[in-house]
Amino acid sequence: MPTLPTITTLTDPLSLAEKVEYEQMIERLRKSQDPWFVAGRLLIEIQYRHLYREHHVDFETFCLVELRKRESHVIETINRTLVAEILVASGITPSCESHFRPLTWLTDPAEQILAYRRAVARAQKAGTRLTTGDVCVEVNQIRDAAILKRRRIDQIGRRFTRVLETFTIEQLEGFTKTLLAFAEGWKAVQPEPAIPRYYQTVHPEDIPAF
């Protein structure tokens, strides 16, 4: 998982080190010589640590004045960078920035990794280079599957509710007590889990003499 900086309050003044760091970051962002995901990491640091707080009232103003970009555009870059760092942690090297845009539509890191790997496999099977379209196809398939799953859960929930409505309050309370009693009985007959060796207490008499 990507590491996020500690969020600093807007009332804390910048330290000398933070001022120098902020100026260096701004200079690098203006030159646009770093790879896109490196620039994204600089933006993450500036946003989460509020390094702009002595110069601008909010992050939106910082984006407009310092970068000449809308805040929404900068946030998209930050989100793509976070996805790229998730993929890097799983052994995937970032390449084209546009490949990561569709992955921001997914919120689960495991799904983001799965979608990208499926897209790569799709391109390899077709004997073509990976495109943003390949990634979009896999992302949409995962999103569609999630929608179908939620619909199925809702259907089951409605059916279960209709079943419960056929019972009286007294019957439902009786079922609940029975289930709780069963759970307590099951817990009582289960063996105690073994304590890993590194969690066990070491007694002085157990330490061999040298």
In the chain, % of residues over pLDDT 90? 47
Please calculate the CA angle 160-173-183 and round it to the nearest 5 degrees: 85
Which position has the higher pLDDT, 42 or 164? 42
pLDDT recorded at residue 208? 43
Fill in the amino acid letter for 165. E
Q: Which of the four pLDDT bands, split at 50, 70 and 90, describes residue 191?
A: low
Overall pTM > 0.85? no
pLDDT recorded at residue 206? 43
Q: Which of the four pLDDT bands, split at 50, 70 and 90, describes residue 175?
A: confident
Q: How far is CA 138 from CA 89, 100, 129, 133, 188, in A?
A: 20, 12, 15, 9, 47
Most confident of 74-78, 165-169, 204-208: 74-78
| Mean pLDDT score, 83-90 | 90
